[in-house]
Amino acid sequence: MQHAFYKDNRIVPLGIMLVTFFIFVYHFELDRQGPLGEIPASAVPATFVVESSRQKDPVPYVEYLDTDSKEVNHVAPSAVPSIVPSSPPSPGSSSSPRPQTGLTTDDVVLMFKTGATVLWKRVPIHLATTLSPKRINPDNVLLYSDYPETIGSWEIIDVLQNTTEKVRNSETFQPYLQQEDYESRQNYAESSNVPGDAAGPPGGWKLDKYKFLPIVRHAGLSKPDAKWYIFMEDDSYIFLPNLLPHLEKFDHAEPWYLGSLAWIHGDYFAHGGSGFALSRGAWEKSFGKDPLIVERFEEFTEVHGCGDHILGHVLKEYGVQFGETTGDSRFRYGFNPESHWSTWYEQANWCKPVYSWHHTHSKDVARFYNLEQDWNFEKGPLRFRDIYKALVAPYLHSRVEWWDNWSSKYEIKSSVAKDIQPPSTVKSTDVWRNAWQSVDACEAACTAWSECVQWSFYEDRCKMDSMLLLGNGIPETDSRRQTSLPWVSGWLPRRVENWECQE
């Protein structure tokens, strides 16, 4: 017994030391981690009321001081949605692939916009690809919609939750107010017509215009340390490893607003579907200076139809001009308002980097992601030619029926053929003017024109082009197959292989 006692006595001190060590480590980790989703007090105006994203009770009215008029305005905290991260922080997660640049995904915030009527169709593929932690830290992603949802660890923010009563009384805003009823009656879902499967209240797309201003305001408040705020929609794809080196060419402290050029009502702005990037300097010059910027432009929002235009107009009012209007060569190409199969490929864009595609299907998103993951960005960015070789060239044929490749530069019809003057590089005028006679004649005319890379023929109409576009086919089940003659398209891909880069 004495021997056993001494043996146990030697073990006790060691056990006490191990317990003490684990308690120390546990408290150290607790002290080191702050509350999830907490925002520095300096980043939120003192008058802002921050509510839970699940808050259903009426939001109390508060007083805001109008610094211009020096009067007190009684305004609801309207479009100031809850400052809640879209997913819980994941310490230690890294963003990959990371381009060789000083700007990384840790320096940006991805603002992802969707809608309740399409969320379950479009968002899941992005959770596995676009928003993969291998690609971008979940802490740097904010998901916005017009109805709160939870998918795994992702919290989707209802960005219209705190909209003012004035907006709520608008006719175009009514679908938002009807969504609770659809949800409670189990009427949401997809197009399979299973009980409980419906797209949501009709007119849900009208809500889109109300989202842009509160999204940008919320992102800037919840992520004040970001250098850039990158916006994308659920039917788009942003090539982050391509875009980050591009953004590094601009000083994020200056007011930069970059994207694909669009124009409505005299306003130049970044097309929303193409995606855009807003610098912290631009946010500070506009949203940072005016906490009530969303409310001030409620009437403008009500009478206009496009949220991206509304945002561009508001930014211009605060002195933030759209980048494309400066004439800077850095803005040529990159953000694309169309999909990869409906975009023209030409020598002018052949070697330009691709920043985004719009109108993407889930299959496209998966393919872009796989291509991006396999790409060696140390050797250079993904360019238009790389997208062409990977996702367009495999579908090209010398000739295919029931396909329209959208050739459009020249059109030769029987009624005007004799008066058409061919381009100077056409070898035979007769071959050119006879292009309308048959499929073979159309193909011969394209071959006779040294710059031609594609053609299409229908009835007595031959179209040719010096730019290449995949276009789309007409399936066997399409009714047009029973009511019209075949539309035939063809390409000369060998000529594309000889294209050279143009600066």
Q: Do residues 285 and 425 both lie within one domain?
A: no
Q: Please say which residue of 328, 345, 375 terminates a domain.
A: 328
| pLDDT confidence of residue 444 | 97
**What is the residue-wise DSSP string for 115-161?**
-TTTHHHHHHHHHHTTT-TTTS-GGGEEEEESS-EEETTEEEEETTT
Q: Do residues 316 and 401 both lie within one domain?
A: no
Q: Is 83 a domain residue?
A: no
Question: Do residues 260 and 354 make contact, with C-beta atoms less than 8 angstroms apart?
Answer: no
Q: Do residues 219 and 114 both lie within one domain?
A: yes
Q: Do residues 405 and 481 both lie within one domain?
A: yes
- Return the higher-pLDDT residue of 198 and 473: 473
| pLDDT confidence of residue 199 | 56
- Return the higher-pLDDT residue of 273 and 65: 273
Tell me what the mean pLDDT of segment 162-191 comes to.
Answer: 73
| pLDDT confidence of residue 93 | 40
| pLDDT confidence of residue 11 | 44
The DSSP output letter for 391 is I
Q: Do residues 324 and 413 both lie within one domain?
A: no
Please tell me the distance from the alpha carbon of residue 405 to that of residue 399, in angstroms, as a whole number: 11
| pLDDT confidence of residue 144 | 97
Domain of 213, CATH number, reads: 3.90.550
Handedness of CA 391, 395, 396, 402 (dihedral sign): negative
Q: Is 71 a domain residue?
A: no
Q: Do residues 401 and 307 both lie within one domain?
A: no
Q: Is 458 a domain residue?
A: yes
Please tell me the distance from the alpha carbon of residue 279 to that of residue 269, in angstroms, as a whole number: 15
| pLDDT confidence of residue 203 | 60
pLDDT exceeds 90 at position 399: yes
Q: In this predicted structure, which of 27-31, 69-73, 420-424 has the lowest mean pLDDT?
A: 69-73
Q: Do residues 436 and 299 both lie within one domain?
A: no
- Return the higher-pLDDT residue of 38 and 252: 252
Residue 10 amino acid letter: R
Q: Is 46 a domain residue?
A: no
Overall pTM > 0.85: no
pLDDT exceeds 60 at position 85: no
pLDDT exceeds 80 at position 40: no
Q: Is 100 a domain residue?
A: no
Tell me what the mean pLDDT of segment 442-449 comes to.
Answer: 97
Of the candidates 142, 170, 172, the residue with the CA atom closest to the CA atom of residue 158:
142
Strand, coil or helix: 248: coil
Confidence tier at 171 by pLDDT (50, 70, 90): confident
Strand, coil or helix: 278: strand
Domain of 415, CATH number, reads: 3.50.4
Confidence tier at 163 by pLDDT (50, 70, 90): confident
Question: Do residues 141 and 131 make contact, with C-beta atoms less than 8 angstroms apart?
Answer: yes
The mean pLDDT value of the chain amounts to: 80
Q: Do residues 231 and 322 both lie within one domain?
A: yes
Q: Please say which residue of 310, 328, 346 terminates a domain.
A: 328
Relative orientation angle of helices 212-222 and 307-317, to the nearest 10 degrees = 60
Q: Do residues 435 and 311 both lie within one domain?
A: no
Please count the structural domains in the chain.
Answer: 2
Please tell me the distance from the alpha carbon of residue 157 to that of residue 141, in angstroms, as a whole number: 11
Q: Is 385 a domain residue?
A: no
| pLDDT confidence of residue 186 | 62
Handedness of CA 264, 80, 116, 200 (dihedral sign): negative
Domain extent at residue 145: 105-328
What percentage of the chain exceeds 90 in pLDDT? 61
Phi-psi category of residue 111: left, alpha or beta, with phi > 0 → left and psi -120 to 50 → alpha? beta
| pLDDT confidence of residue 390 | 97
Q: Is 336 a domain residue?
A: no
Confidence tier at 120 by pLDDT (50, 70, 90): confident
Q: Do residues 324 and 421 both lie within one domain?
A: no
Question: Which residues lie below 8 Å from residue 111, measured CB to CB, with a gap of 6+?
Answer: 142, 144, 215, 216, 219, 229, 230, 231, 232
How far is residue 123 CA from its own chain's centroid? 12
Please tell me the distance from the alpha carbon of residue 198 to that of residue 186, in angstroms, as a whole number: 9
Q: Please say which residue of 328, 346, 380 terminates a domain.
A: 328
- Number of H-type helices and E-type strands within the chain: 16, 20
Q: In this predicted structure, which of 175-179, 188-192, 208-212 has the lowest mean pLDDT?
A: 188-192
Count Cβ atoms below 10 Å from residue 208 Cβ, excluding itself.
17
Confidence tier at 183 by pLDDT (50, 70, 90): confident
Please tell me the distance from the alpha carbon of residue 344 to that of residue 408, in angstroms, as a whole number: 11
Please tell me the distance from the alpha carbon of residue 284 to that of residue 287, in angstroms, as a whole number: 6
Q: Do residues 280 and 411 both lie within one domain?
A: no
Question: Do residues 175 and 235 make contact, with C-beta atoms less than 8 angstroms apart?
Answer: no
Count Cβ atoms below 10 Å from residue 121 Cβ, excluding itself.
16
- Return the higher-pLDDT residue of 81 and 212: 212
Q: Is 14 a domain residue?
A: no
